[in-house]
Amino acid sequence: MKTMKQWNGSKLDFSQFAQPGDQIDDEIYFYFLGCVPPRKMMSFGFLVGEPARHNENGEAMFDAFYESPSSQYYYGGEKTVKDFMDESIILRFNRTERVVKHPITGSLHTVF
Protein backbone atom coordinates (compact mmCIF):
# COMPACT_ATOMS: atom_id res chain seq x y z
CA MET A 1 0.00 0.00 0.00
CA LYS A 2 1.25 3.47 -0.91
CA THR A 3 1.07 5.92 1.98
CA MET A 4 1.12 9.71 2.30
CA LYS A 5 4.31 9.44 4.35
CA GLN A 6 6.01 7.47 1.55
CA TRP A 7 4.83 9.93 -1.08
CA ASN A 8 6.05 12.94 0.89
CA GLY A 9 9.42 11.26 1.42
CA SER A 10 9.77 10.33 -2.25
CA LYS A 11 9.87 13.96 -3.52
CA LEU A 12 8.06 12.69 -6.67
CA ASP A 13 4.96 13.98 -8.41
CA PHE A 14 2.03 11.73 -7.58
CA SER A 15 1.87 10.44 -11.18
CA GLN A 16 5.48 9.28 -10.81
CA PHE A 17 4.90 7.80 -7.35
CA ALA A 18 1.73 5.78 -7.97
CA GLN A 19 0.64 3.51 -10.80
CA PRO A 20 -2.97 2.76 -11.81
CA GLY A 21 -4.29 -0.02 -9.58
CA ASP A 22 -2.03 0.79 -6.62
CA GLN A 23 -3.71 0.57 -3.26
CA ILE A 24 -3.34 3.85 -1.37
CA ASP A 25 -4.03 4.89 2.20
CA ASP A 26 -7.03 6.95 3.23
CA GLU A 27 -4.82 10.00 3.78
CA ILE A 28 -3.92 10.17 0.08
CA TYR A 29 -7.52 9.49 -0.98
CA PHE A 30 -8.94 12.28 1.17
CA TYR A 31 -6.09 14.66 0.30
CA PHE A 32 -7.06 14.52 -3.38
CA LEU A 33 -10.77 14.59 -2.56
CA GLY A 34 -10.27 17.78 -0.57
CA CYS A 35 -7.66 19.69 -2.59
CA VAL A 36 -10.23 21.05 -5.10
CA PRO A 37 -13.90 20.14 -5.60
CA PRO A 38 -14.14 16.88 -7.58
CA ARG A 39 -14.83 17.08 -11.31
CA LYS A 40 -17.12 14.07 -10.95
CA MET A 41 -18.06 12.07 -7.87
CA MET A 42 -19.88 8.75 -7.68
CA SER A 43 -20.54 6.34 -4.82
CA PHE A 44 -17.40 4.35 -5.68
CA GLY A 45 -14.90 7.17 -6.30
CA PHE A 46 -14.15 10.52 -7.89
CA LEU A 47 -12.16 12.47 -10.46
CA VAL A 48 -9.92 15.26 -9.12
CA GLY A 49 -11.33 18.67 -10.07
CA GLU A 50 -8.38 19.90 -12.11
CA PRO A 51 -7.06 17.98 -15.15
CA ALA A 52 -3.66 16.33 -14.81
CA ARG A 53 -3.09 16.78 -18.55
CA HIS A 54 -4.86 16.61 -21.93
CA ASN A 55 -4.69 13.58 -24.21
CA GLU A 56 -3.83 13.56 -27.92
CA ASN A 57 -7.48 14.40 -28.75
CA GLY A 58 -7.41 17.47 -26.52
CA GLU A 59 -9.65 15.84 -23.89
CA ALA A 60 -8.97 16.64 -20.23
CA MET A 61 -7.53 13.72 -18.26
CA PHE A 62 -8.27 13.65 -14.52
CA ASP A 63 -6.70 11.54 -11.78
CA ALA A 64 -9.23 8.92 -10.67
CA PHE A 65 -9.54 7.51 -7.17
CA TYR A 66 -11.72 4.61 -6.06
CA GLU A 67 -13.09 3.26 -2.79
CA SER A 68 -13.97 -0.44 -2.56
CA PRO A 69 -17.05 -1.66 -0.68
CA SER A 70 -14.66 -2.73 2.13
CA SER A 71 -13.23 0.83 2.38
CA GLN A 72 -9.95 0.15 0.63
CA TYR A 73 -8.67 2.94 -1.59
CA TYR A 74 -7.04 2.76 -5.03
CA TYR A 75 -5.48 5.08 -7.57
CA GLY A 76 -7.15 4.57 -10.95
CA GLY A 77 -4.81 6.51 -13.20
CA GLU A 78 -5.75 9.35 -15.53
CA LYS A 79 -9.24 9.15 -17.04
CA THR A 80 -11.50 11.30 -19.17
CA VAL A 81 -14.93 12.02 -17.71
CA LYS A 82 -16.46 9.69 -20.33
CA ASP A 83 -14.13 6.81 -19.39
CA PHE A 84 -14.91 7.33 -15.71
CA MET A 85 -18.66 7.34 -16.37
CA ASP A 86 -18.40 4.24 -18.58
CA GLU A 87 -16.64 2.49 -15.69
CA SER A 88 -19.42 3.55 -13.33
CA ILE A 89 -21.89 1.41 -15.27
CA ILE A 90 -19.62 -1.63 -15.02
CA LEU A 91 -18.88 -1.09 -11.33
CA ARG A 92 -22.55 -0.64 -10.49
CA PHE A 93 -23.46 -3.98 -12.07
CA ASN A 94 -20.50 -5.87 -10.61
CA ARG A 95 -21.51 -5.19 -7.01
CA THR A 96 -22.70 -8.07 -4.91
CA GLU A 97 -26.34 -8.74 -5.48
CA ARG A 98 -28.79 -10.62 -3.35
CA VAL A 99 -32.28 -11.95 -3.80
CA VAL A 100 -34.99 -10.90 -1.35
CA LYS A 101 -38.55 -12.11 -0.98
CA HIS A 102 -41.29 -9.46 -1.06
CA PRO A 103 -43.08 -9.66 2.32
CA ILE A 104 -46.60 -9.48 0.87
CA THR A 105 -46.54 -11.02 -2.59
CA GLY A 106 -43.77 -13.54 -1.96
CA SER A 107 -42.15 -12.66 -5.30
CA LEU A 108 -38.35 -12.64 -5.53
CA HIS A 109 -36.41 -9.47 -6.36
CA THR A 110 -32.72 -8.89 -7.02
CA VAL A 111 -31.25 -5.96 -5.09
CA PHE A 112 -27.80 -4.44 -5.17
Note the Cα 51 to chain centre separation in Å: 15
On whether the CB atoms of residues 10 and 30 are closer than 8 A, the answer is no
What's the total number of domains in the chain? 1
Q: Which of 33, 98, 102, 88 is nearest to 63 (CA)?
A: 33
- Distance, CA of 19 to CA of 74 (rounded, Å): 10
Domain that includes residue 79, residue range: 4-111
Average pLDDT over residues 81-106: 61
On whether the CB atoms of residues 111 and 100 are closer than 8 A, the answer is yes
Average pLDDT over residues 67-92: 84
5-62 pLDDT, tens digit per residue, is 999 999 999 989 999 999 999 999 999 999 999 999 988 899 999 999 999 999 999 9
Residue 101 has pLDDT above 70, yes or no: no
- Higher pLDDT, residue 102 or 55: 55
On whether the CB atoms of residues 80 and 100 are closer than 8 A, the answer is no
